[in-house]
């Protein structure tokens, strides 16, 4: 931390308006298996310092893998030089929202450091899962993927904040592929990725789930095609993770809303004039952003511009109620403070506005997942994630899934295939007429959310209880 | 290559920990300037990424470790960790020893020529573009980047492969209040960049895109721009071309052995020493040379992609798990000629968010973006609302009626094409 403080002091002497320095270690172990072989096992340990400078109204960013003072000074000078060039084309005054000075530490609560466990342990579990899958009838392929990640950061800025964070992440998944009846279908087991220690991985039941997905992959091959037309859908939490990510999380990032992301990720229909008035969903829809969620993938204590993580509503009682806002854009919303969501993937990446942990709040009335299905005369129950696509304004969306069941007279009556549904995002959320209660709440999440230019991958948790949507256009995939 | 790192790699390889040590070095020096609202107000960064990946094999197992600590201790630690990982693993039935000098001899080395970049030149390109766009009353967003890089792969079998290259991109989206148009200029170093022509064409097309007219989805004859073809074609190839997956029945091509899958005029191939559209002449993972090979020719699959292991098993040449470049052979017909050949159809400038819908039939979905124009009587006649498509790529390749002149992009060279009966299934609100 001493060198970071030193370089901040150096930049203060250069009359910058704001600067921060972030020492950032990215450590990751990946294991991929194919059938009963380890297809890939790699580890990376990449670290360095990124320095961000605001000179007048221009931003510059430069990074170095060397942490000695001479290298940091050269890097700071480079960032300042780039900021001066940016200032020459500045469109307006940059105003940063205030943030209290933080001298703080944050760490994921873990019992067992994943990087102190032999790789052979996880590889053995995944290969065993592969063996179980391959015993399934008509199975032609088993696969798995495991990511263990640790990100350590030290952060200092010209407002005298000094922050250290230490975050551990685990993402496991296994896959079965069956070939039968002229079809090839895959089924996955995606336990929720978590900020957690290795004890989380140890607690997962791969054997039972391997048997289940092998059987369901085969069953999918014999499923009948869905009918095209308007239908009632019940979506499980894993599936809803993806829909809320694409149709609520991204459109409410304020940088997108204001056109800053136009050239890559796109813009948003959820413009600021709609705040607190726009009916984003039905009255039972509450979507909550929460970077204080314990074990949440985006829960990191403090973000990469020194702002404390927070919790707030994006959609409250169906109404658009909030955005994801960084320090530079907070004043556009007349917000006194950013909401702690600016993150960078590695030391050489510029921190940008990233989606927080975002979940659909459970329904307020007692309702189990089973009761929700029993209350549905005719429909489709969709589990897991499949094909997904949405336009650059986040309106026209089309989703598939990992598995589909027909609902008839309140019962699941067999699998369907070739299901995709297509909707305008806010019409989709307005059609939500029931959400199971907190007993059915589950988490899911992603570690590969792409945004920025150059592209960066970020991680965030989602969660939901199963929810029902009426009159959604279903199409046969083929 | 980097002298100091070079010496360290050589020193480690002189006394390898096993008979399988591969050290891959990558250096990327990126200056990336991003802008929106006609102002450099986003990522404006310089980064120098230098990393070494150590791969160590041990009795039929392989471990790997990547670090950006390029000190001797740092690289030795990476080798140690890779070795430890290898020792812990079960034997790999698809284990492959390091590439030999005999195998590496086939490398088609080439020496790209590119010049120095000054910051004044780069920011000057942007300043000029912003000026023209403001005069035209248009907003803009995009990025300009220069990306010189070096890749080197050394192993204990004597292979010393090294390649330096560069790509530069100026991607510009211009906007009216209710529409947008995007184009990108690709080159090594902007030496052939004609700013006036590039920006004025974007301004003209952006103005034409204003006030999109409502149009219903359906099947249309479309002219697809090179970038639109690239996005869809690369998704299709990525999912379907692996030879092992084809043989195991996990690819759309598994169902179509020997079948006609494209119009006979379509020729898609790889050329590792392509002057403009090749990044490396060898795999950055193991130094295995990329080779010249046809993927689709005379309407049929010519060759899928073979990993080194699977090529050995099948007795064919390895192409790499993914090729070094993808070339869709073009003609001399400019884009305007293709448009003039369509009486009633659409010009698609760009696709967005392409995803697989059905693997075994090669069906993909996605949206149009940044320029969807009506073609009437061989001319662009204003823009229309954007559509979603659900399209079989086999149908697209079979329904290709015209092929235009190639445009070189980062590692592809692709022409615009005219396609009949392109399947748009729904529209959006803009």
* Per-residue pLDDT at B279: 84
Q: What percent of chain B has pLDDT over 70?
A: 100
Mean pLDDT of B278-301: 95
Chain A nearest-CA residue for B354: A389
Mean pLDDT of A1-21: 96
Judgement on whether residues A294 and A170 belong to the same structural domain of the protein = no
Judgement on whether residues A278 and A168 belong to the same structural domain of the protein = no
Judgement on whether residues A160 and A293 belong to the same structural domain of the protein = no
> CATH number for the domain including A82?
3.30.2290.10
A444 pLDDT above the threshold of 70: yes
Judgement on whether residues A174 and A57 belong to the same structural domain of the protein = yes
Q: Do B248 and A38 touch (CB under 8 A)?
A: no
Of the candidates B92, B366, B425, the beta carbon closest to that of A475 is on B425
- At A12, is the pLDDT very low, low, confident or very high (cuts 50, 70, 90)? very high
Q: What is the distance in angstroms between the Cα of A170 and the nearest Cα belonging to chain B?
A: 19
| Chain B residues near residue A392 by CB distance under 8 angstroms | 352-353, 367, 369
Of the candidates A43, A141, A259, the beta carbon closest to that of B141 is on A259
Of the candidates B39, B390, B430, the beta carbon closest to that of A89 is on B39
Chain B nearest-CA residue for A93: B41
The residues pairing with A146 across neighbouring beta strands, listed in sequence order, are A31, A172
The residues pairing with A407 across neighbouring beta strands, listed in sequence order, are A379, A412
Examine the fold and report which residue of A222, A245, A269 is the final residue of a domain before the chain moves on: A222
Q: What is the mean pLDDT of chain A?
A: 97
Of the candidates A119, A184, A348, the beta carbon closest to that of B359 is on A184
DSSP A298: T
Q: Do A453 and B92 touch (CB under 8 A)?
A: no
Q: Do B45 and A350 touch (CB under 8 A)?
A: yes
B2 pLDDT above the threshold of 70: no
Chain A nearest-CA residue for B71: A66
Show the domain range for A284: 225-476
B391 pLDDT above the threshold of 90: yes
CA–CA gap between residue B321 and residue B162 (Å, rounded): 20
Chain B nearest-CA residue for A52: B45
* Per-residue pLDDT at A91: 87
Q: What is the distance in angstroms between the Cα of B331 and the nearest Cα belonging to chain A?
A: 30
Buried b (16+ CB within 10 A) or exposed e, B14-44: eebbbebbbbbbbbebbbbbbbbbbbbbbbb
Q: What is the phi-psi region of residue A392: left when phi exceeds 0, alpha when psi lies from -120 to 50, beta otherwise?
A: alpha
Q: What is the distance in angstroms between the Cα of A309 and the nearest Cα belonging to chain B?
A: 23
B352 pLDDT above the threshold of 70: yes
3-state SS of A37-98? EEEEEEEEEEEEEEEEEEECCEEEEEEECCCCHHHHHHHHHHHHHHHHHHHCCCCCCCCCCC
Judgement on whether residues A157 and A78 belong to the same structural domain of the protein = yes
Chain A nearest-CA residue for B172: A263
Of the candidates A60, A65, A123, the beta carbon closest to that of B50 is on A65
Examine the fold and report which residue of A157, A188, A222 is the final residue of a domain before the chain moves on: A222
- At B117, is the pLDDT very low, low, confident or very high (cuts 50, 70, 90)? confident
- Nearest to B104, CA basis, from B255, B258, B283: B283
When scoring B46, B125, B250, B385 by the number of chain A Cβ atoms within 10 A, the one with the most, hence best to mutate, is: B46
CA–CA gap between residue A116 and residue A18 (Å, rounded): 39
Mean pLDDT of B415-422: 98
Domain count, chain A: 2
Of the candidates A63, A90, A398, the beta carbon closest to that of B47 is on A63
Mean pLDDT of B121-133: 97
Judgement on whether residues A426 and A469 belong to the same structural domain of the protein = yes
Of the candidates B51, B81, B143, the beta carbon closest to that of A43 is on B81
Q: What is the distance in angstroms between the Cα of A402 and the nearest Cα belonging to chain B?
A: 11
- Nearest to A423, CA basis, from B422, B368, B425: B425
CA dihedral for A324, A329, A333, A336, sign (positive or negative): positive
CATH domain B3-205 topology: PmbA/TldD fold (3.30.2290)
* Per-residue pLDDT at B277: 84
A139 pLDDT above the threshold of 80: yes
Locate the domains of chain B by residue range.
3-205, 212-427
Higher pLDDT, B223 or A478: B223
DSSP calls for B381-412: EEEB--EEEEEEHHHHHHTEEEE---EE-SSE
Q: Do A454 and B65 touch (CB under 8 A)?
A: no
A333 pLDDT above the threshold of 70: yes
- At B276, is the pLDDT very low, low, confident or very high (cuts 50, 70, 90)? confident
Q: What is the distance in angstroms between the Cα of A391 and the nearest Cα belonging to chain B?
A: 6
A153-197 pLDDT tens trace: 999 999 999 999 999 999 999 999 999 999 999 999 999 999 999
Interface A:B, Cβ pairs < 8 A: 236
B3 pLDDT above the threshold of 90: no
Mean pLDDT of A119-127: 95
A400-435 pLDDT tens trace: 999 999 999 999 999 999 999 999 999 999 999 999
B1 pLDDT above the threshold of 80: no
- Nearest to B80, CA basis, from A126, A124, B72: B72
| Chain A residues near residue B40 by CB distance under 8 angstroms | 58, 85-86, 89-90
CA–CA gap between residue B56 and residue B64 (Å, rounded): 6
* DSSP-based three-state secondary structure for A374: helix
* Per-residue pLDDT at A10: 97
Examine the fold and report which residue of A222, A250, A266 is the final residue of a domain before the chain moves on: A222
A356-399 pLDDT tens trace: 999 999 999 999 999 999 999 999 999 999 999 999 999 999 99
Chain A nearest-CA residue for B61: A38
Q: Is the pTM of this model over 0.90?
A: yes
DSSP B43: -
Judgement on whether residues A138 and A48 belong to the same structural domain of the protein = yes
Judgement on whether residues A205 and A243 belong to the same structural domain of the protein = no
Q: What percent of chain A has pLDDT over 70?
A: 100
Judgement on whether residues A129 and A20 belong to the same structural domain of the protein = yes
Judgement on whether residues A132 and A257 belong to the same structural domain of the protein = no
Q: What is the phi-psi region of residue B158: left when phi exceeds 0, alpha when psi lies from -120 to 50, beta otherwise?
A: left
Q: What percent of chain A has pLDDT over 90?
A: 98
B373 pLDDT above the threshold of 80: yes
B58 pLDDT above the threshold of 90: yes
Mean pLDDT of B335-349: 98
| Chain B residues near residue A352 by CB distance under 8 angstroms | 43
Reported ipTM: the value is: 0.95
Chain A nearest-CA residue for B430: A393
């Amino acid at each position: 931390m001493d060198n970071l403080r030193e370089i901040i002091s150096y930049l203060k002497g250069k009359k910058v308006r704001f600067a921060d320095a972030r020492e950032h270690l990215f450590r990751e172990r990946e294991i991929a298996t194919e059938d009963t072989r380890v297809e890939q096992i790699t580890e990376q340990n990449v670290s360095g310092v990124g320095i961000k400078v605001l000179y007048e109204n221009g931003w510059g960013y430069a990074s170095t893998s060397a942490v000695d003072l001479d290298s940091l000074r050269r890097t700071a000078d480079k960032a300042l030089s780039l900021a001066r060039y940016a200032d020459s084309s500045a469109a307006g005054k940059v105003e940063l929202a205030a943030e209290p000075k933080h001298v703080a530490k944050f760490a994921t609560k873990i019992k067992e450091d994943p990087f102190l466990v032999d790789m052979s342990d996880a590889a053995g579990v995944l290969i065993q899962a592969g063996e179980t899958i391959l015993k399934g009838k008509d199975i032609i392929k088993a696969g798995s993927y495991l990511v263990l990640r640790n990100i350590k950061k030290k952060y200092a800025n010209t407002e005298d904040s000094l922050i250290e964070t230490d975050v551990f992440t685990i993402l496991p998944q296994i896959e079965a592929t069956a070939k039968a009846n002229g079809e090839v279908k895959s089924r996955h087991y995606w336990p929720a990725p978590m900020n957690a220690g290795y004890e989380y991985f140890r607690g997962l039941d791969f054997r039972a789930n391997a048997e289940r997905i092998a059987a369901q992959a085969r069953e999918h091959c014999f499923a009948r095609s869905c009918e095209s037309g308007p239908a009632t859908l019940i979506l499980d939490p894993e599936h809803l993770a993806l829909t809320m990510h694409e149709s609520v999380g991204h459109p409410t990032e304020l940088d997108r809303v204001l056109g800053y992301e136009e050239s890559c990720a796109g813009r948003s229909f959820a413009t600021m004039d709609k705040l607190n008035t726009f009916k984003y969903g039905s009255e039972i829809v509450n979507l909550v952003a929460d970077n204080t969620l314990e074990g949440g993938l985006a829960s990191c204590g403090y973000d990469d511009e020194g702002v404390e993580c927070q919790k707030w509503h994006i959609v409250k009682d169906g109404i658009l109620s909030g955005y994801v806002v960084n320090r530079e854009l907070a004043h556009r919303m007349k917000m006194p403070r950013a909401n702690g969501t600016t993150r960078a993937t590695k030391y050489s990446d510029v921190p940008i506005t990233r989606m927080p942990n975002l979940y659909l709040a459970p329904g307020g009335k007692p309702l189990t997942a089973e009761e929700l299905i029993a209350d549905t005369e005719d429909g489709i129950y969709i589990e897991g994630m499949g094909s997904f696509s949405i336009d650059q304004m986040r309106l026209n969306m089309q989703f598939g899934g990992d598995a589909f069941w027909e609902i008839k007279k309140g019962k699941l009556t067999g699998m369907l295939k070739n299901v995709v549904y297509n909707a305008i995002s806010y019409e989709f959320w307005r059609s939500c007429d029931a959400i199971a209660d907190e007993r059915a709440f589950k988490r899911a999440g992603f570690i590969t959310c792409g945004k920025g230019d150059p592209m960066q991958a970020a991680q965030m948790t989602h969660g939901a209880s199963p929810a029902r949507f009426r009159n959604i256009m279903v199409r046969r995939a083929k | 290559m980097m002298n100091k790192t070079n010496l360290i790699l050589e020193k480690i390889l002189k006394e390898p920990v096993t008979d399988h040590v591969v050290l891959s070095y990558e250096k990327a020096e990126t200056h990336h300037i991003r802008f929106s609202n006609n102002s450099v107000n986003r990522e404006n960064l310089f980064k120098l990424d230098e990393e070494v990946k150590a791969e160590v094999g041990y009795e039929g197992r392989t471990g790997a470790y990547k670090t950006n600590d390029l000190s001797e201790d740092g690289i030795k630690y990476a080798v140690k960790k890779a070795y430890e990982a290898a020792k812990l693993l079960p034997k790999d039935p698809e284990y492959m020893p390091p590439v030999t000098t005999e195998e590496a001899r086939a490398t088609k080395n080439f020496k790209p020529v590119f010049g120095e970049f000054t910051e004044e030149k780069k920011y000057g390109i942007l300043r000029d573009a912003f000026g023209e766009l403001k005069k035209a009353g248009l907003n803009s967003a995009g990025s300009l980047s220069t990306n010189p890089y070096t890749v080197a792969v050394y192993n204990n079998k004597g292979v010393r492969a090294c390649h330096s290259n560069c790509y530069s991109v100026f991607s510009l989206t211009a906007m009216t209040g209710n529409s947008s148009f995007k184009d990108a200029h690709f080159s090594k170093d902007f030496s052939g960049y004609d700013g006036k022509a590039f920006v004025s064409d974007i301004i003209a097309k952006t103005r034409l895109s204003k006030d999109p007219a409502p149009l219903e989805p359906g099947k249309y004859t479309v002219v697809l721009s090179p970038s639109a073809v690239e996005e869809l074609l690369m998704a299709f190839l990525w999912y379907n071309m692996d030879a092992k997956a084809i043989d195991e029945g996990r690819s759309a091509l598994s169902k179509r052995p020997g079948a006609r899958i494209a119009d006979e005029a379509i020729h898609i191939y790889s050329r590792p020493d392509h002057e403009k559209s090749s990044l490396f002449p060898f795999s950055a993972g193991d130094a295995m040379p990329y080779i010249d090979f046809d993927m689709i020719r005379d309407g049929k699959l010519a060759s899928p992609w073979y990993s080194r292991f699977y090529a050995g098993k099948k007795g064919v040449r390895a192409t790499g798990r993914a090729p070094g470049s993808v070339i869709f052979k073009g003609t001399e017909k400019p884009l305007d000629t293709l448009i003039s050949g369509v009486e009633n159809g659409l010009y698609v400038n760009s696709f967005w968010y392409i995803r697989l819908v059905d693997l075994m039939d090669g069906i993909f979905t996605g949206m149009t973006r940044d320029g969807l124009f009506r073609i009437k009587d061989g001319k662009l006649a204003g823009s229309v609302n954007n559509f979603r498509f659900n399209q079989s790529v086999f149908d697209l390749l079979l329904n290709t009626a015209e092929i235009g002149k190639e445009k070189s992009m980062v590692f592809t060279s692709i022409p615009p094409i005219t396609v009949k009966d392109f399947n748009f299934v729904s529209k959006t609100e803009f």
